[in-house]
Amino acid sequence: MVVAAPASGHGKTTVATGLMSALRERGLSVSGHKVGPDYIDPSYHALATGRPGRNLDPYLQGEEQVVPLLRHGAGVAPEADVAVVEGVMGLFDGALGSHGYASTAHVARLVEAPVVLVVDASAAGRSVAAMVHGFATYDPRVHLAGVILNKLGSERHETELRAALEPLGVAVLGALHRADGIHAPSRHLGLVPVAEREREAAGMLRRLREWVTAGVDLDEVMRVARQAPGLSGPAWDPAEQLAQAPAAGTSAGGTGRTVVAAAAGQAFTFRYAENIELLRAAGIDVVDIDPLSDQSLPEGCAGLYFGGGFPEVHIEGLAANAALRAEVASAVARGVPVVAECAGLTYLCTELDGAPMTGVLDATATMTSRRTLGYRTATVDSESFLAPAGAPVTGHEFHRTQVTPRHGQSAAWRWQDSREGFVTPSVHASYLHVHWAGYPVLASRFAAAAHARAPGLVSERG
């Protein structure tokens, strides 16, 4: 089922995460999914379900991949009993100018799932029924199966709203009254990821689960979820995707699996689960490292993957770990390939807000007051180990830092007559986040570059 709302701020993430946790508490296996590119909400889904949070995004992955990716996420052992898909923004809000493309409604139609609308009723009475009526009838292809009323002020308030909604024939699945202490803290780019507040998040999840269990009819929720028809076609499979997107280069062969170090920990909290699964299917052992605490790269490291996160919040710790910064710089200088997105880009700069970083790139990064956010339709500007020149790619930006200069002599991407990012023989670094399930050739080429740098293969070639 899809958990949606009339707009941002109605409580989608709170209710969706609470539902996942409450259903899991009942003994069900639950998979959590997020419409759109967001990477923070899935961290709460993962905490609630005990399995990776995943994204469903037609813009980043392609329409044809949404159902296979849902089946994959829900089918990874143990197979899920129910998939809860949290929407993005308002139900019908998609990419600007696209007539709702990549909206929650678009994804709900693709996966043929019933929609549960979470409505903040704190400042309205019977007018809530008019709002629900509009959402139920706006697009007949979307099945609005139920409503969860959120932030109710009193029992009388709840009674009034139930009476107003009854003639619509839309089931009221729950009524949640205002509760203090059930929220995740926010900052410049939204919620604080779970990895940065694990103990507090676990306590919040317990209170959230109790709140949802008390106010939502979970039996009715499952009845709604069972209205979704069976989905046809195969689940997404990383090995099959790689077979369709071969890259020239050396495979792992008989030399054993190749090690790639991936940034993790509190400063690097974002990467898509499928990106890692593609690398593993390509013969890569992905080893997490924490640039805040780990002093060295793993033995035999033949590639580096620095994804997204919030290095700007952990500048002092990153700068203090001079040993790892030096080792990263040395590895890249030796030709070890590194893919860096957004946070990873700033870590490769000479400094971030005046604090020393790795110095791999002759560029500086600074915090700004301006948030950069949006989908991008890009073209590969420069041939690299990651991507072939001229190839089209869709991605997204989400940051409040600025790197100067914006691009190197060889840029990574271009869009809207501008160039962005840095490409060298061993570096591909930019602000653009790309979901590799939509472009498995990127994972294939990166894996081939890492295999070519694996110690055994390097020594064989002299």
SS3 for 417-441 is CEEEEEEECCEEEECCECCCCCCHH
Cα end-to-end distance, the chain, whole Å: 56
Place of tokens 């894996």: 447
Query: Which residues are known catalytic residues?
Result: 342
d(C-alpha 212, C-alpha 386), whole Å:
45
Contact 30, 84 (CB under 8 A): yes
Let me know if 422 is exposed, middle or buried by CB neighbors in 10 A (0-12, 13-18, 19+): buried
3 state SS of 365? strand
d(C-alpha 187, C-alpha 309), whole Å:
13
Q: In one letter, which amino acid is 375?
A: Y
Quote the tokens at residue 289.
């490292």
d(C-alpha 331, C-alpha 335), whole Å:
7
Residue 264: phi, psi to the nearest 5?
-145, -160
- What contacts 348, CB < 8 A, 6 or more positions away? 306, 328, 332, 338, 340, 357, 358, 360, 361, 422, 427, 429
Q: Strands 364-380 and 392-404, how do they pair? A: antiparallel
- Which of 188, 269, 216, 241 is CA-nearest to residue 20? 216
> How far lies 240's CA from each of 94, 211, 248, 441, in Å?
30, 42, 17, 12
> How far lies 308's CA from each of 262, 346, 408, in Å?
11, 10, 20
- Name residue 54's beta-bridge partners: 33
d(C-alpha 279, C-alpha 460), whole Å:
23
Contact 451, 423 (CB under 8 A): no
Distance of CA 24 to the CA centre of its chain: 21
- State which H helix or E strand residue 337 sits in: none
Q: In one letter, which amino acid is 155?
A: E
d(C-alpha 381, C-alpha 126), whole Å:
55
